Amino acid sequence: MNNRPWLASYPEGVPADIDTAQYSSLVALMEESFQKYGSRVAYSFMGKDISFAQTDSLSRAFAAYLQGLGLAKGERVAIMMPNVPQYPVVVAAILRAGLVVVNVNPLYTPRELEHQLKDSGAKAIVIIENFATTLEQCVKATGVKHVVLAAMGDMLGLLKGSLVNYVVRNVKKMVPTYNLPGAIRFNQAIAKGTSGTLKKPDIKADDIAVLQYTGGTTGVSKGAVLLHRNVIANVLQSEAWNQPALKSMGSEQPVGVVALPLYHIFAFTVNMMLGMRQGGKGILIPNPRDLPAVLKELAKHKIHTFPAVNTLFNGLANHPDFNTVDWSHLKISVGGGMAVQGAVAKLWLEKTGCSICEGYGLSETSPSATCNPTDSKQFTGTIGLPLPNTSLKCLDDDGNEVPLGQPGEIAIKGPQVMAGYWQRPDETAKVMTPDGYFKTGDIGIMDERGYFKIVDRKKDMVLVSGFNVYPNEVEDVVAQMPGVMECAVVGVADEKTGEAVKLVIVKKDQALTEAQVREYCRANLTGYKQPKVIEFRTDMPKTPVGKILRRELRDKK
């Protein structure tokens, strides 16, 4: 990792390299925190607190239950739940039992779920009852032998206290209790495990911790193999990077918003695992799309860190209840998963006093690879600098590094880079270079200070009469137009130019007209970048994480 020009731009106190071998496994990291922070609140969920000690004892019991099923070290267990207290308990249990976590999106269709369960070879699944009908439609076609059915109110009998009022008011009337034939209830599994004994397996840093499935945007969904050492490295890298913003807190417990789904690697590592390492409290948000409920919950807490995607920052900042939350303690707002728009960053800073530091990563990098300095007060429009122990370079189509300032495919090397794709050596070979860099498929530019900027995904680039149009650039310009809430750009077929730019807008001001948008674009974009097609919609199609689904906008004529 010689010649890392970005090191000169590092914030004071952030080292170029850190010791990523501090823990033999994620289990060692977690168990250290259970001992060190036992009396602290680990998670807050709908008015109920769960301590580190309770997470410890419940996960120990569930781990013993899993071992009691006869699952051998290295076998896979799927988790299909939103942000509920069972999630971190089950993750800790799976890892403590020497098994592998398979994170599953709860909104999957039966077809998507069947693919992931079969591909991963999962022998067991822990699923919340709300989505059990999906599993019922495909489970017979998979190798799953054990189903644990969780419910929103499960922790009622396990914790001394009660979620009863909330459940009666909000959950029971929405979701009928569902019984999947042959399944065992979560609380029953805990009870069985409590009477058993957890046999501590020999877990090494090179053992698999997580199969993190990619979104399948470039083909069939593949499992990124994340080893214990990959996730540990990213936790420690992120911790070091956050220090400039958090050092003023001293020994105060950090409180983080867990609004991104824990099955997504961003929240899995940056919320759950980093929170575990720091003894932090995570505010579990089961449905981040319900903005009034999110703000109502956040109003109860003193918040220090908030990882989110652009769409969530934007939605919250534009919500009339935004100021019911005390944002004065917010130290870090990390934007990831998609590009942060300048207009959103400006509004967030105005309303909270905390700038959004945009970062960048992928499932394949556990996930964080770069981030803007966390103590910065300005929006750079870049994805920031490579984290400690991390190198990036931009490559041309032949795999050669491009000159400074020229666009090329971003390639990443570091201890957080995956071991490969699960049982797909051919796919792994396509993305790994001979010298160990992972090719991201994202086109970027590095400036003289070592900051990287994404110009776009290869596949999202629009080719207009031979000129390259990068959707992010057009979106960032249009997003700053008064009256625009959200926007997205895609390429559509055009007889004259091959492709043309299509712009889709969700209005903030209903009086906004197509003529006004065209006039604004003419004033701010060169001819070939201006949209030929403009479409107004009431909302954008998005993934559960909040990424806009460009392909759906492209398909809609």
Domain boundaries of the chain, sorted by first residue: 21-442, 461-555
- Of the candidates 177, 198, 152, 163, the residue with the CA atom closest to the CA atom of residue 58: 198
State pLDDT tens for residues 32-81. Answer: 999 999 999 999 998 899 999 999 999 999 999 999 999 999 999 999 99
- The CATH number of domain 461-555 is 3.30.300.30: yes
Query: Per-residue DSSP letters for 456-508?
Result: EEGGG-EEETTEEE-HHHHHHHHHTSTTEEEEEEEEEEETTTEEEEEEEEEES
Q: Which CATH superfamily is domain 21-442 in?
A: ANL, N-terminal domain (3.40.50.12780)
What is the pLDDT averaged over residues 328-340? 92
Q: With 60 as the cut, is the pLDDT of residue 219 above it?
A: no
What is the pLDDT averaged over residues 530-543? 95
The CA-based angle 487-490-496, given to 5 degrees, is: 130
- Residue 210's H or E segment, with its range, is strand 208-213
What is the pLDDT averaged over residues 125-136? 95
Rounded Cα distance between 473 and 479, Å, is 10
Q: With 60 as the cut, is the pLDDT of residue 425 above it?
A: yes
Q: With 50 as the cut, is the pLDDT of residue 247 above it?
A: yes
Q: With 90 as the cut, is the pLDDT of residue 144 above it?
A: yes
Distance of CA 272 to the CA centre of its chain: 11
- Strands 356-361, 332-335: pairing is parallel
Q: CB-based contacts of 510: which residues, under 8 Å, 6+ apart? A: none
- Of the candidates 128, 72, 70, the residue with the CA atom closest to the CA atom of residue 99: 72
Query: Per-residue DSSP letters for 76-131?
Result: EEEEE--S-THHHHHHHHHHHTT-EEEE--TT--HHHHHHHHHHHT-SEEEEEGGG
Top pLDDT among 106 and 206 is at 206
Rounded Cα distance between 407 and 385, Å, is 16
Rounded Cα distance between 361 and 369, Å, is 5
Tell me what the pLDDT averaged over the chain comes to: 92
Q: With 80 as the cut, is the pLDDT of residue 417 above it?
A: yes
- Of the candidates 128, 127, 122, 58, the residue with the CA atom closest to the CA atom of residue 93: 58
Give 550's pLDDT tier (boundaries 50, 70, 90): confident
Top pLDDT among 371 and 174 is at 371
Rounded Cα distance between 155 and 161, Å, is 9
Q: With 80 as the cut, is the pLDDT of residue 468 above it?
A: no
What proportion of the chain, given as a percentage, has pLDDT over 90? 80
Tell me how far CA of residue 192 lies from CA of 67, 147, 184, 229, 242, in angstroms.
11, 14, 10, 31, 41
* C-beta neighbour count of 57 within 10 angstroms: 17
Cα dihedral angle (529, 530, 533, 539), rounded to 10 degrees? 90
Q: Is the peptide bond before 541 cis (omega within 30 degrees of 0)?
A: no
Query: Looking at beta carbons, which pairs linking 57-61 to residues 24 or more positions away fall under 8 Å?
Result: 58/89, 58/93, 58/158, 58/190, 59/88, 59/89, 59/90, 59/91, 59/92, 59/93, 59/96, 60/93, 60/96, 60/193, 60/198, 61/93, 61/190, 61/191, 61/193, 61/194, 61/196
Top pLDDT among 157 and 397 is at 397
In a 3-state reduction of DSSP, which class is residue 359?
strand
Burial of 24 by CB count in 10 Å (0-12 exposed, 13-18 middle, 19+ buried)? middle
State pLDDT tens for residues 470-508. Answer: 898 899 889 999 999 999 999 998 888 889 999 999 999
What proportion of the chain, given as a percentage, has pLDDT over 70? 94
pLDDT, residue 2, reads 52
Lookup result for tokens 């105005």:
350
In a 3-state reduction of DSSP, which class is residue 45?
strand
Rounded Cα distance between 169 and 171, Å, is 6
What is the pLDDT averaged over residues 403-432? 96
Top pLDDT among 153 and 376 is at 376
* C-beta neighbour count of 388 within 10 angstroms: 22
The answer to whether the 21-442 and 461-555 domains have the same CATH topology is no
pLDDT, residue 175, reads 43
Q: With 70 as the cut, is the pLDDT of residue 164 above it?
A: no
The answer to whether 187 and 217 have CB atoms below 8 angstroms apart is no
Copy the structure tokens of residue 352: 């909270």
Q: With 60 as the cut, is the pLDDT of residue 96 above it?
A: yes
Least confident of 164-168, 264-268, 286-290: 164-168
Least confident of 78-92, 164-178, 370-384, 441-455: 164-178
The answer to whether 210 and 223 have CB atoms below 8 angstroms apart is no
Based on its alpha-carbon atoms, the radius of gyration of the chain, rounded to whole angstroms, reads: 23
What is the pLDDT averaged over residues 214-239? 86
